[in-house]
């Protein structure tokens, strides 16, 4: 009996520690010329315990973007909580362009009303001011929402702080057997949620454009098969289980189709499948490897990897009503290895895995100018994915024999690292803007 209860406690502990496992983020390179911004700790107006620090979450968000440099708390010369209390002259002397102040009011039903103001220090005026209702469990989300408002007000571009990442983790279970998990977390690594666990490899997660479902490849049945799973209900559907490869699923931006790789007709070819009818259309026809399809934002073309020219390179094919519309055109000519394309949401950039002097790195091709640049400095960098606003790329790399994630701004100026406490994390994919909860 005692044995049993201790086993129960052990299990309970391992379950609860799983629930709290998070990716920890470390900023490895800030950006020169980042805008100084002062974020004052929000005033707490309530009887209960003070909730999470919104100021810390917002400051970390803005710093990660590489465009802002939040002041350390000890450098704040005063701690006002609303615009009318601000003495702009003293802040101007610090050369701080922007100031964020706010309050959290505890409401009778236990929820919160969060007020905040973004102030232009040099003009001495308010740029934005909002009051947002939030549940305790939603305060982190509210903080990311505030970060998005600040970012958009100052830069004019959409922020991507209130988004998620999906990724694969590989850890060892209590019998030292490998355990593969598909997980999602907030873009800052918090609130990890396990979507699916398997003793066999999992790979290639892809978000549906409404952020409610993930397509992925599972080897549970001893060979690769494609599944689609709802991230809220966990409802799962097997989409492709043909002979040979069932790989590289990518959801079309219009949500109607999946592009995928099948080798049922001999060698790996790209197909598109209607998500509702499961009807297949073959897109490529070559004796070579064709794989890793990625959609253009208008759903009217695919970029993919092919070794038809002797080494893996990226090609583009137009789609006409989801059927091949032309002969595929080669896109990359730098070096002899360019694979795993991913396209920014505005269609301007293609990021890929590029080999340069034996090192595998993330490179970016600007589609219109054909300008090609290598963004990372690792040896085993792979799986790039753009933030939905196109400013950052998250990717997988290896550090001290472990798989970790890294993020780099598209201009290469800001960098950060995301790692698990134990095990490997790989194949990050940034969610679209709206993940409906």
Partner 1 sequence: MIKLMRYFVVLTVVVTLAGCNLGPLKKRGQKSDATDTQVEDNQFSKAGDSTGAFTAGDKLEVSSLNDPNSPLSQRVLYFELDSSQIKDEDRDIITVHAEFLASHPDISIVLEGHADERGSREYNIALGEKRAKAVKQIMTLQGVAEKQIQVISFGEERPVALGHDDSAWNLNRRVEILYTGY
Using CB under 8 A as the criterion, which residues of the chain lie in contact with partner 1 when the complex forms?
201, 203-204, 219, 222-224, 244-245, 247-248, 261, 263, 267-268, 289, 291-292, 305, 311-312, 337, 339-340, 353, 355, 360, 379-380, 382-383, 398, 401, 426-427
Shortest CB 286 distance to partner 1, Å: 12
CB nearer to partner 1: pick between 29 and 311: 311
CB nearer to partner 1: pick between 148 and 427: 427
Which helix (H) or strand (E) segment holds residue 10: the answer is helix 2-20
CB nearer to partner 1: pick between 247 and 419: 247
Shortest CB 278 distance to partner 1, Å: 21
Closest Cα partner for 36 from 70, 78, 65, 60?
70
Shortest CB 265 distance to partner 1, Å: 13
- Dihedral in degrees, nearest 10, Cα atoms 162, 390, 325, 207: -30
CB nearer to partner 1: pick between 38 and 248: 248
Chain centroid to CA 351: 14
Beta-carbon neighbour count of residue 321 at 10 Å? 7
* Strand boundaries in 175-298, DSSP class E: 178-186, 193-198, 202-207, 213-218, 225-230, 236-240, 246-251, 257-262, 269-274, 280-282, 290-295
CB nearer to partner 1: pick between 156 and 401: 401
Which DSSP symbol is given to 322? T
How far are the Cα atoms of 312, 385, 418 from residue 368, in angstroms, in the given order? 22, 20, 32
CB nearer to partner 1: pick between 239 and 435: 239
Shortest CB 207 distance to partner 1, Å: 16
Shortest CB 311 distance to partner 1, Å: 7
Closest Cα partner for 366 from 382, 390, 387?
390
Cβ-contact 283, 317 below 8 angstroms: yes
Shortest CB 219 distance to partner 1, Å: 7
Closest Cα partner for 119 from 80, 69, 159, 160?
80
Cβ-contact 287, 295 below 8 angstroms: no
Give dist(CA 356, CA 369) in Å, integer.
Answer: 21
CB nearer to partner 1: pick between 230 and 267: 267
Two structure tokens written together for 280:
């297949």
CB nearer to partner 1: pick between 322 and 395: 395
Three-state DSSP at 124 gives coil
Identify any residues that bridge with 128 across adjacent strands, giving them in sequence order.
118
Shortest CB 204 distance to partner 1, Å: 6
Shortest CB 360 distance to partner 1, Å: 6
Three-state DSSP at 266 gives coil
CB nearer to partner 1: pick between 261 and 299: 261
Shortest CB 426 distance to partner 1, Å: 8
Give dist(CA 69, CA 94) in Å, integer.
Answer: 13
Place of tokens 């465009």: 67
Phi, psi of 105, deg, nearest 5: -100, 130
CB nearer to partner 1: pick between 33 and 222: 222
- Give the angle 430-434-435 at the CA atoms, nearest 5°: 75
Shortest CB 134 distance to partner 1, Å: 39
Shortest CB 376 distance to partner 1, Å: 14
Cβ-contact 203, 194 below 8 angstroms: no
């Amino acid at each position: 009996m005692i044995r049993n209860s201790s086993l129960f406690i052990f299990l309970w502990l391992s379950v609860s520690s799983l629930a709290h496992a998070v990716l920890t983020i470390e900023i490895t390179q800030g950006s020169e010329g980042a805008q100084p911004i002062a974020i004052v700790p929000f005033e707490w107006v309530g009887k209960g315990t003070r909730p999470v620090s919104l100021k810390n979450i917002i400051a970390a968000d803005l710093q990660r973007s590489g465009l802002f440099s939040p002041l350390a708390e000890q450098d704040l010369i005063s701690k006002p909580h609303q615009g009318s209390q601000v003495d702009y002259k003293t802040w101007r002397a610090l050369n701080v362009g922007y100031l964020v102040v706010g309050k959290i009011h505890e409401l009778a039903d236990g929820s919160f009303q969060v007020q905040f103001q973004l102030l232009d220090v040099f003009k001495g005026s308010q740029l934005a001011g909002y009051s947002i209702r939030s549940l305790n469990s939603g305060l982190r989300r509210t903080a990311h929402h505030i970060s998005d408002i600040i970012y958009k007000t100052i830069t004019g571009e959409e922020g991507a702080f209130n988004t998620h990442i999906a990724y694969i983790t590989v850890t060892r279970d209590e019998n030292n057997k490998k355990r593969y998990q598909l997980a999602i977390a907030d873009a800052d690594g918090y609130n990890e949620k396990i979507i699916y666990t398997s003793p066999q490899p999992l790979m290639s997660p892809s978000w549906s454009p409404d952020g409610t479902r993930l397509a992925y490849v599972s080897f549970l049945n001893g060979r690769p098969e494609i599944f689609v799973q709802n991230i809220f209900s966990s409802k799962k559907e097997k989409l492709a289980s043909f002979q040979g490869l069932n790989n590289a699923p990518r959801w079309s931006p219009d949500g109607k189709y999946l592009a995928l790789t099948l080798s049922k007709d001999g060698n790996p070819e790209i197909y598109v499948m209607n998500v509702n009818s499961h009807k297949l259309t073959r897109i490529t026809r070559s004796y070579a490897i064709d794989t890793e399809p990625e959609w253009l934002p208008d759903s009217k073309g695919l970029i993919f990897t092919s070794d038809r020219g002797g080494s893996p390179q990226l090609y583009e094919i137009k789609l006409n009503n989801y059927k091949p519309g032309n002969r595929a055109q080669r896109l990359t000519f730098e070096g002899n290895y360019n694979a795993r394309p991913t396209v920014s949401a505005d269609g301007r950039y293609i990021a890929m895995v590029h080999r340069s002097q034996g090192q595998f790195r993330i490179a970016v091709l600007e589609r219109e100018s054909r300008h090609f640049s290598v963004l990372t400095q690792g040896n085993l960098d792979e799986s790039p994915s753009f933030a939905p606003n196109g400013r950052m790329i998250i990717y997988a790399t290896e550090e001290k024999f472990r798989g970790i994630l890294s993020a780099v701004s598209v201009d290469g100026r800001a960098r950060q690292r995301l790692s698990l406490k134990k095990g490997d994390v790989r194949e990050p994919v940034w969610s679209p803007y709206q993940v409906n909860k």
